[in-house]
Amino acid sequence: MSEGKDEVNRDQEIMAQMDAIKKEVAESAPLMSDVMDTSTLLAEYGDPLFTTKIKSMLDAFPKMRKTRGDGNCFYRAYAYGIAEHFAAHKDKLPGFLETLKQTFDMALAAGYPEFTAEDFYETVQEQFARLKDEPMEALHATFNDDGLSNYIVAYFRLVTAAHMKTHVDDFLPFLEGGETVAAFCARAVDPFGVDCEHLQIIALTQALGVAVNIAYLDRSAGETAAQHVIPDGQEPLVFLLYRPGHYDILYPPPAVAHT
Amino acid sequence: MATKRRLKTEHAQFKKTPPEGVTLLTDDPTSTRWIVQIAGAPNTVYAGETFQLQLSFSDKYPFSPPEVIFLDNPPQHPHVYKNGHICLSILYQEWSPALTASSVCVSILSMLSSVSKKEWPIDNDSYMARWRISRHGPQKTLWDFHDDTV
């Protein structure tokens, strides 16, 4: 009996701890911050490996915008970056809205229930369509509204999984231990708050046709932050900063960001 | 707001096109606690039996899963504890906002259909002993999903 009690206490302690961390993260940072100087990152690191890499990218990316670290950061940051791009290039917005519509058809083809997919799709379509005649500030509020912002994340996750499920041959060779694409999506794409890794990024950027440039601020050797464009060879429209387990947005000069 | 709208839509959809063997008994579309009856599928060990599920939705739904338990006499199944708690990954870590109350019930019914004999979970006694002390909800358990075949 006493052993059972200990186990209960341990489970509940771990769960309480996880809840406390989530709450602390939620209270300490907005979903999407305002623009700030990338050099503010220097204060977060004492290790010269990191400070050298940060200094090396200040010219290329003088400004940045932070994303809340809740496991959805890649999806949210990428969606935000896309919105900013089309806010600045309104002539290209109709093309993107058309692509979004195609992703909805793809989600249905991948077997997602129509009315949940539609619920998310309509929210995303409606919010991005506002950029036709509204400024990015309007969408900044959207991205910081829990409900709307999470609908966008949920839809981008759905598109990621739908793309993988409708392009099984492209992704299956990269899965480990005989895992199926469906099992991978159920474990690593669909659940809200599960970190996004390389495969998911490939799938999502292919599906939406918007390439992303990622600068990697990690422990790898070298004095500069390595950069990769996904999908390879395309012109990136969104720039992100990767730190182990987390993504923020970077801005090349002149900052296309609003403040 | 998003939760209420979503639940209302799901409720209407569930009533209009219920999956085979699954009936939503709760009539109030604004309720956040639904009772669903599921009927054991023909040619399975639960054929002819019916069970009731309770689905409770928090204001974080659909971004957090509904809490789902069997009421009263739960089916004797290796993933269902005697207190009605269900060990099924989509109810916890693998929940996705693209799933629905209806699809969850279908998964539970299919979980029942996949066994060839009635057995309680091997750790039922120790789980129940812990639960009698804590009375914790199933979402407060750190589930270990080791068996994908059942």
**Residue A91, min C-alpha distance to chain B (Å):** 31
Choose the catalytic residue: A140, A185, A246, A248. A246
Q: What is the ipTM of this complex?
A: 0.76
Rounded CA separation B101/B103 (Å): 6
* Look-up of token digits 């991978």: A184
A232 catalytically annotated: no
The CATH topology of domain B2-140 is Ubiquitin Conjugating Enzyme (3.10.110)
Q: CA-CA distances (angstroms) from residue A254 to A60, A86, A185, B60, B108? A: 10, 16, 38, 39, 54
pLDDT tens digits for range A84-113: 999 999 999 999 999 999 999 999 999 998
Residue A252, judged by CB atoms within 10 A of its CB (0-12, 13-18, 19+), counts as middle
Phi, psi of A215 (to 5 degrees): -100, 130
pLDDT tens digits for range A215-230: 999 988 889 999 999 9
Task: Give the DSSP H or E segment for A246.
Answer: strand A246-251
* Look-up of token digits 């219920």: B18
Domain ranges of chain B: 2-140
Cis status of the peptide bond prior to B62, with omega within 30 of 0:
yes
Q: Which CATH architecture has domain A22-251?
A: Up-down Bundle (1.20)
Tens of each residue's pLDDT in chain B, 150 residues: 678 889 999 999 999 999 999 999 999 999 999 999 999 999 999 999 999 999 999 999 999 999 999 999 999 999 999 999 999 999 998 999 999 999 999 999 999 999 999 999 999 999 999 898 888 888 888 777 765 555
Cis status of the peptide bond prior to A254, with omega within 30 of 0:
yes
Closest CA to A123 of B1, B101, B131, B122: B1
Residue A153, judged by CB atoms within 10 A of its CB (0-12, 13-18, 19+), counts as buried
Rounded CA separation B103/A98 (Å): 29
Mention every residue, 6+ apart, whose C-beta is less than 8 A from residue B128. Answer: B81, B82, B83
- Whether chain A has a CB inside 8 Å of the CB on B110: the answer is no
Q: Helix A93-109 to helix A73-88 angle, to the nearest 10 degrees? A: 140
8-state DSSP, B104 = H
**Residue A213, min C-alpha distance to chain B (Å):** 28
Cβ A45 vs Cβ A32: under 8 Å: no
Q: Which of B98, B131, B136 sits opposite A113 (nearest CB)?
A: B98
**Residue A205, min C-alpha distance to chain B (Å):** 20
Cα dihedral sign, A211-A72-B142-B120? negative
Rounded CA separation B5/B24 (Å): 18
- Whether pLDDT at A64 is above 60: yes
What is the reported pLDDT for A6? Answer: 64
Rounded CA separation B94/A146 (Å): 21
Could you tell me the strand order of the sheet in which A246-251 lies?
A: A32-37, A63-67, A246-251, A236-243, A211-216, A226-230
What is the reported pLDDT for B141? Answer: 80
- Provide the Cα torsion A120, A126, A131, A136; round to 10°: -50
Q: Which of B94, B130, B136 sits opposite A187 (nearest CB)?
A: B94
- Whether chain B has a CB inside 8 Å of the CB on A254: the answer is no
List the alpha helices (DSSP H) in chain B.
2-16, 101-113, 124-134
